[in-house]
């Protein structure tokens, strides 16, 4: 029986260059998606999947991300003084949503390096990695499925999604053989292949469940493209040694590190919002009539 996964690591120390100039001074994880910063969706997803120990890999530029899950005593007291008890409770609840700790990546030396910094916190246990560029609006279903797959197989599990071949060069790509249900056995991993070299149309998405042995493999990775330590290199070693599964999914993902998908997330999630949705829907209908002649 595989060990239960209790910890999640959220690497959030990247520079966010695809979202400049916003990200010059504002961490992309703090961009609001409707009425919550993106990072909150990711921590809530981990909690929904049953994980309550979260390690943020932060950087000197990402202090607001750490602060979002800390107490804000002054703010809470002022809200209480004004009788805004529900707002005060909401602010306080963010500090209690999970056990959120952080470690700093002093230099952006790559995703693999960021994950390796979690070694001391995680120890000799399996753990989940959630990239906060990807927000999943699925109530934790994908991550729960991946945790269950780890429990059944005792092998690391990576989230995979089908993409058109023309887009595959933006992602890590996995060759895989069918296993059972949405689980496939990963046989090859290639980082950002040209479409003609890609072994499949399955792209690696920002959700992983790793056996603790990944830390040893990360320690052996030499800097690759741009001097970065690539997570994919360590995953390829781990896969070759002890095997790895892919969990194929299709719904619920937004890449909010990318401007176009960020806009899609904002509109679709605003439409689903219980308070804001109905009025926003009417606004969109009117807008479409006025500007698009629909
Ligand atoms: P990306 O490759 O998307 O890089 O990182 P980025 O810097 O965040 O964004 P762009 O591409 O320049 O716009 C994937 C994930 O790995 C984290 C990022 O924060 C993101 O969650 N990361 C990346 C680190 O934590 N440290 C790094 O050195 C690199």
Task: Give ligand 1 pocket residues (Cβ under 6 A).
Answer: 11-19, 57, 105, 108-111, 113-114, 131-133, 257
How far apart CA 233 and CA 153 sit, in angstroms, is 22
CA distance 162 to 151: 24
pLDDT of 258 reads: 87
Q: Point out the least confidently predicted range of 32-36, 38-42, 290-294.
A: 290-294
Say yes or no to pLDDT of 116 above 90.
Answer: yes
CA of 61 to the centre of ligand 1 (A): 13
pLDDT value for 66: 96
**Residue 227 pLDDT grade (very low, low, confident, very high; cuts 50, 70, 90):** confident
pLDDT band (50, 70, 90) for residue 293: confident
Q: Residue 158's pLDDT is what?
A: 98
pTM: 0.95
Given a cut of 90, whether residue 5 has pLDDT beyond it is: yes
CA–centroid distance, residue 30 to ligand 1 (Å): 14
Q: Could you read off the pLDDT of 146-190 as tens digits, one per residue?
A: 999 999 999 999 999 999 999 999 999 999 999 999 999 999 999
120-141: average pLDDT: 96
Percentage of the chain with pLDDT > 90? 94
CATH number of 7-257: 3.90.550.10
pLDDT in tens, 45-68: 999 999 999 999 999 999 999 999
What tokens were used for 39? 């990072």
Nearest-CA neighbor of 261 among 89, 92, 19?
A: 19
pLDDT score of 85 more than 90:
yes
Which pLDDT value is given to residue 25?
Answer: 92
What average pLDDT does range 31-39 have in this prediction? 96
**How far does residue 164's CA lie from ligand 1's centre (Å)?**
23
Segment 105-126 shows an average pLDDT of 96
* In the predicted structure, residue 224 carries a pLDDT above the cut 90: no
Report the chain's mean pLDDT, rounded to a whole number. 95
pLDDT at residue 179 in the model: 94
What local confidence, expressed as pLDDT, does residue 276 receive? 96
Q: Which CB contacts under 8 angstroms, 24+ apart, belong to 266-270?
A: 266/33, 266/34, 269/33, 269/34, 269/137, 270/34
Enumerate the CATH 3.90.550.10 domain ranges in the chain, comma separated: 7-257
Q: Stretch 136-154: mean pLDDT, rounded? A: 96
Query: Which of 13, 14, 128 best tests ligand 1's pocket when mutated (most atoms within 8 Å of CB)?
Result: 14
Tell me: pLDDT of 291 over 90: no
* Residue that wins the pLDDT comparison between 43 and 19: 43
Question: 277 pLDDT band (50/70/90 cuts)?
Answer: very high
Residue 48 CA to ligand 1 center (angstroms) comes to 24
Atom of ligand 1 nearest to the CA of 131: 21
Q: Which of 25-39, 144-158, 173-187, 219-233 is the least confident region?
A: 219-233
Amino acid 292: pLDDT: 76
CA of 114 to the centre of ligand 1 (A): 9
CA–CA separation, 85 and 79 (whole Å):
7
């Amino acid at each position: 029986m595989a060990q239960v996964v209790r910890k999640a690591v959220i690497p959030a120390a990247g520079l966010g260059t695809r979202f400049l100039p916003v990200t010059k001074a504002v961490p992309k994880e703090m961009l609001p998606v409707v009425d919550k910063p993106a990072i909150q969706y990711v921590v809530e997803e981990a909690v929904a999947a049953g994980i309550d120990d979260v390690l943020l890999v932060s950087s000197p530029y990402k202090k607001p991300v750490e602060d979002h899950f800390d107490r804000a005593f002054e703010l809470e007291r002022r809200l209480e003084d004004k009788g805004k008890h529900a707002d005060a409770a909401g602010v306080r609840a963010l500090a209690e949503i999970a056990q959120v700790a952080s470690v700093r990546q002093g230099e952006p030396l790559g995703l693999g390096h960021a994950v390796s910094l979690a070694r001391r916190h995680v120890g000799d246990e399996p753990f989940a990695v959630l990239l906060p560029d990807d927000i999943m609006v699925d109530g934790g279903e994908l991550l729960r499925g991946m945790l269950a797959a780890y429990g059944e197989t005792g092998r690391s599990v990576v989230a995979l999604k089908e993409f058109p071949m023309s887009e595959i060069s933006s992602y890590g790509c996995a060759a895989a053989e069918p296993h059972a249900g949405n689980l496939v056995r990963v046989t090859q991993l290639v980082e950002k292949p040209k479409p003609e070299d890609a072994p499949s149309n399955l792209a690696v998405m920002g959700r992983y469940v790793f056996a603790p042995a990944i830390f040893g493999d990360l320690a052996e990775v030499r800097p690759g493209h741009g001097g970065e330590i690539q997570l994919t290199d360590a995953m390829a070693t781990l896969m070759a040694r002890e095997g790895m599964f892919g969990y194929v999914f299709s719904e619920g993902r937004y890449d909010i590190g990318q401007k176009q998908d960020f806009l899609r997330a904002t509109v679709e999630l605003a439409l689903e919002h219980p308070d804001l949705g109905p009025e926003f829907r009417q606004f969109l209908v009117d807008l479409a009539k006025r500007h698009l002649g629909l």
